[in-house]
Amino acid sequence: GENVEQHPSTLSVQEGDSAVIKCTYSDSASNYFPWYKQELGKGPQLIIDIRSNVGEKKDQRIAVTLNKTAKHFSLHITETQPEDSAVYFCAAFEFNTNAGKSTFGDGTTLTVKP
Amino acid sequence: DTGVSQDPRHKITKRGQNVTFRCDPISEHNRLYWYRQTLGQGPEFLTYFQNEAQLEKSRLLSDRFSAERPKGSFSTLEIQRTEQGDSAMYLCASSLPVRSYEQYFGPGTRLTVT
């Protein structure tokens, strides 16, 4: 089955700095890679995703890059703000035959210091 | 609010007792998923439904666990003879079948088995 590794497990940055979180996956059949933000007491919220036919996707301060050959993908947050503080999860998914089973990384706790 | 809702939000039970959780998905979403999340880890897939049909179950779903979605709307997850190892956050998510990879999570039910 799929295995997703996520690094770092904790990340602390100053407000305004950039944050980068990296994930690797094992199953080359995976073709969809979402990122979730989970705040305390809440469920994960989808913030950005990328499909395997795209190398990069950007949405305002958030961007995701994908390297299919190396089987890794990254989340980039620029101009970080205190409200970006949360746990971020990456996941891998094969949506052609695998109807619903996402495999998640273990999460990165991001702290943005004002 | 038209998001995924879960009830109860917190449940404390004694070992050996049975517990049942409920999930109400987004109304037009006919796929519903259950995940379990333990502290410091990402969500782990348990099972999923398309309408009332349970289509896949993880090996994590032991015989003590049963999930139902009788009318294709809300779902229940029951754990019989709870054990301390069942303590976790139980998350429900829903999606449209044509976009099964875009899963919207509820706030979760935090189970503590004493």
Residue range A58-76, pLDDT digits in tens: 999 999 999 999 999 999 9
Whether residue A107 and residue B40 make contact (CB cut-off 8 A), yes or no, is yes
- The answer, yes or no, to whether residue B2 has pLDDT greater than 80, is no
Q: Indicate which of A42, A75, A101, A106 best probes the interface with B, i.e. most B CBs within 10 Å of its own CB.
A: A101
> Between residues 29 and 88 of chain A, which touch chain B (CB distance below 8 Å)?
32, 34, 36, 41-46, 49
Structure-token pair, residue A31: 């073709």
pLDDT band for position A23 (cuts 50, 70, 90)? very high
Tell me the shortest Cα–Cα distance from A49 to chain B, in angstroms: 9
Average pLDDT (B5-25) is 97
CA distances, B49 to each of A74, A94, A95, A100, B92 (Å):
31, 17, 15, 9, 11
* Residues of chain B with C-beta less than 8 angstroms from the C-beta of A46: 102-104
